[in-house]
Structure 1
Amino acid sequence: MNPSRLRLAGALAAVVLAPAVVVAVLGAGVYVSVPAADRAVLDRVVREQVGFLAVAASLVVLVAGLLLAAALRRYVDPARRLAADVRVMLDANPDHHVTPSGPAELRTLAEAVNELAERHAKARRDVVEQVETAAADLDRERHRLAVLMGVLTIAVLVCAEDGRILLYNTAARDLLGEDVGLGRSVFGVLDRNLVVHGLERVDVGATPHEATVERVGALVRVRLARVPSGTAGAAGFVLVCDDATRPEQAAARHAELLRSSADRVRGAAGSIGAAAGAVLGYPDMPAEQRRRFVEVIAEEATRLGEVTQHLMTESPANEGQWAVTDISARDLCAAVGAILRRTDGPEIRIDDPPGDVWFAVESYAVSEALATVVRLLGERHGVNRVLLAAAPSGAAATGEFGHVDLSWAGPPLAAGELERGIGDATAVIRRHGGELWADTHHPQVRVMLPRSDGAPRPQAKGMPEEPPPALYDFELEQFQPDPAEWSEWEDGPLDRLTYTVFDTETTGFAPEEGDEIVSIGAVRIVGGRLLRTETFERLVDPGRSIPRTATAVHGITSDLVRGAPTLDEVLPAFAVFAADSVLVGHNVAFDMAFLAATQRRTGTKLSAPLLDTLLIDGALHPDHDPHTLEAMAERLGVNLVGRHTALGDALLTGEIFLRQLPLLAGRGVRTLGELRAAAAATAQARTSARLYRI
């Protein structure tokens, strides 16, 4: 039973029994004070009337008890609810209002409290407005940092001295995987020895340390540098990572290319030498035989040229000179026109190309090369208008080429004239793997360029109120405990622990009757902040049909989960997401009952401590009913958004849990062990006794 209720029951018993004790004491005093002769008469009267006196005493006690209970319901219970509501206003929801109840005096007090709350809320809004105004410059700088980090294509992580991640960008998560997250250890994604060795090298030198490591079949190049202690409030280090797989593969291909080219050159040179020796050594050789030797020399010379051209176009050194990006044919032609307008070149007319023509080139260099061709036509042939038209040159498969045609009104170019006039531009096109030539019969120059794999997909636009795509929290340092404290769960301060708030959606309410999970959603709380960018959401194939009654609640149909992974596959991934954190849920015994069988079957254990917001609310507000998510959200001022989806309910539960923490601190509950003990003492804990056994 709640300790406060035990104290109240004791007080009630004392008040009810007090009249009986007083009567007994007075009777004993009267009995002792009367003469002995009268005592006999008194004894006889008492014996004769003992039944009546007992009934009368019982009636007196009963009436006193009823009057006292009525007084308690009228005065004490409303006062207790009033005190709990005031505590909610102070610590969790300043906009919460007290519901007047009880006698006139308490109603008047409740109205006064509401008026005081309104004045306090107005003063608080004024202060918040002033603080927001004063912090506008800081917010703008943080926004700039977030945008900068978000657009960087190279992975960046900033870590505390012990390896906890304080900052990362989306490129880091794309490269290193979902294990990257605020407050998590970088040693979960990179080898500890590599980082420690790199720090030692940096500490004795002045340049960043660089190393290459393998991760999930890819090579990752890592650069490591120190963060001075005065920069972010605490010492740490920065990791800059990029994918080194393609350069390494290109180097390997180049080595193989050199080896095969050397073999081909050696063979061709040997054939040419042998044929030339035969021709020179036998001047009287028959004409037909001499012709065959000359043909061998010509064929092998052609092969040498092909080897040389192949070596030039496939060289990774040439690839590395260009920052190749995707550009549409329309934009490429427009760029050529812009260059010519700046240099007073011939007028450009662009024939609208098909929308699916995209090139994979270094756009500025290729635009300049095409502009050079147009200027040649203007300077040497008096052409004042050139038509640019682009089209694909074959199927849209990877590695196919497209072409850009330059045509004009007038005579065509003579053979070799184009190459002699634009030597550098020719090199640019050929280094991209392309080619260009002039049609000697028509006024046209064709430029072949490599096509991209496809048009770039437009990035999804976030909602205007969404934060930029960088994830950072330099204040995280002050919230995290020492690594040694992670094993001391019970003594961990509530405001310093990391939490994973989760929820499930199911086919029904009875796992023992075959109901299964169809969705799991979770979000992490780090440093007292709900990280909406670090979430876990998976659909689960339950291996059975989903009843319409369940679909009506969460909207998940059998067709939607068909082909989704099973819980045996999803649970290990969820365990990784929730590692090194306290698990939080609402009525969490329900969710754990569904997960129990899968934990046994897969060997995946969710061994972290469990917290239940339902039990926490029972400890905080024993006089309030009900303890549903809706009632708790209304009481604590949390908006009801995304209900009855696993991730939506997890986010809602996380917001409620964060509002409960200051209320717990106000009651002296500050550690995980104290909270678990308080939750276990509630009446609601009987439904979760196995989870909350202390």
Structure 2
Amino acid sequence: MPQNWRGPLPWLAMAFAANVAAIGAAAYLLGQGVVDREELRALAMIAVAGSALMFVLAWKIIDFAVMRGIKRMAAEIRAIAHGGNRSDIEAARYPLLAPLPDSVNQIIAKMIQARQELAEGLKSATGKAEENSNRLAAILNDLHEGVVVCNLRHQIVLYNSVAMDMLAGIGPVGLGRSLFETVTREAVTHMLEVLTHRPEMGSRGTPFLASAADGTTLLQARMSLIRTNDGDATGYVITMVDASPQVAALSRRDALLREVAEGLQSPLIRLRIAANNPVIVEREAANIEAAIKRVTDGYQRALSGWWPMADLHSADLFAFVAQRFDQSTVKVTVTGLPVWLHADSHSLALTMEAMIRQISDRFNLAEVDLAAAEDEAGSWVEIGWAGSTAAKPALDGWLAQPLHSLGGMRVRDVLDHHAGAEIVQEHRAGRSWLRLPMRKGIEQHYQAKVAALPTRPEFYDMALLDAARDIGEKGRQPLRSLTFIVFDTETTGLQPSQGDQIVQIGAVRIVNGRILSGESFNRIVNPGRVIPPESIKFHGITDDMVKDKPPLGVVLPQFKAFAADAVLVAHNAAFDLKFLRMNERQFGLKFDNPVLDTMMLSNYLDGPETGHSLDAICDRLGISITDRHTALGDAIVTAAVLLNQIDALESRGITTLEQVVKELDMNMALHERQRAF
């Protein structure tokens, strides 16, 4: 292979050879004794000077022939990389750098080719995107509803011409502008919070009512979340129509219907009193009254069918209402079991807020309760307060209160649209309750799941009563005056001694015989191990759901602080307490609270022959179950079971914790004997 003398290496090699020859000659002369000391000193100085000169010469050669060439070539490469018109560098200008220029030209050629392919790909993709965008725009503009797409900062990223025409007279509409310049913030953020909290509700879009920012237009809207493949929400889509003409027409018909009903009522009464033939008059009057009622009921059904409604969990509704009183002097307490309602959450939340404010102002209240219930006929929500004051005299005025964010619609209109039944007041246990009828949830939430899953094995453990035997004054207090923390756990399996761990703790507080469902504890726990599929089918908690959650070492002290020194209650408590107590030493905790087990109480109250699973007890007591096999859902249901059991205990003369422990001791001893035989 011929030697390439164009690089700096040959020059440096020759300089090095010359230096070696000079040093060799000097060594030879020294060996022959030809030079004296002075000549040797001069020779050494000349050698040093020659070495320095050789270094300088070598550096200059490298700098001139290599470094400067590299800098010039780098400048040319940068120019080409940043879009210059040249397609290569001149290799002949860099003879000492061969074969680097040729390699660089090959890379530049590949880069230019990739740049051309990328430009062609971008052009094609842009063309397809524009084509799809035009198609989407054509589809959106062909819709009769206004469509607005927003990010989570509520900035508009897409809208159609219908939305533009609908909202342009209210405020500026444009890409990047805030939706709240044209639509009231409250309704949108409320619905976004609902769908974020209950993602299963937004699969087909959830309807709601909103008003324009200037209050002149009422919008019938529907919201859907935009989600990534991982399920994270990145924005939302709102479709809307102007409902103001429909509402105005319905309001006029509503007023006309009331006028007809009220105008006929007095003549009918006078007719009954003054007629000569009371039998015929009574019959005809009843016929007229029945006809009016049929018209009223039919109209109300038609009106309710128009109203945008969806299934709503009462706990979510009450949480939204309670949030509106965070800065108020009125404390709103959520009590009782949750139920599923069929309602428009936004308008109903505004209505309940208006009712609570008027009730609290009327009776000078500092605290108001919210509860929900259902039976075979329907469901209802209740507003409660201490005392036995009569709400009837002021009720008509409360119902006539206008709701300005709903276009001036009245409280009565919203309640009529939801159920239309009569509002009644009840007095129970020293409290007044105003019952607002609702419609039951249409979907059967969780029922198929509950029916398909078996229950946990039953663990009867008399040691649970040990902590309750020596509790002093608390043991002699009435059961209803005690504070209970009713809790439940979900776990990776049924074997704590074999490494199974807690994945969720849920709890609710009972104070003075009331379930304070608004004062709850609900934490998902990272168990530090894989969750088996056979456990996931029970509680639905997956490895992805726990990967970013805190470990038990964080959650367990939080639960202990929540429980404080209250009486702990669980169903099949031996199972749940085993998981708590096996971690006491590791985290420096002590769960020495008094404990009651609703399964043991059920065995005592109803006998060992009946079923004592939570589902069997709820079926016996007529307690509706929602959110079964979630820790908080099961805890709330267990709390309702406990209150029923306290009623049954009191009917037997058992009113204190000491008495309960004594009776359970004897009952469980008998139970163990029966099992032995």
Q: Same fold (TM over 0.5)?
A: no
Which of structures 1 and 2 has the larger relative contact order (alpha carbons within 8 angstroms, sep 6+)? 1
Task: Give me the TM-score of the superposition, normalised by structure 1.
Answer: 0.32
Normalising by the residue count of structure 2, what TM-score does the alignment of the two structures yield? Answer: 0.33
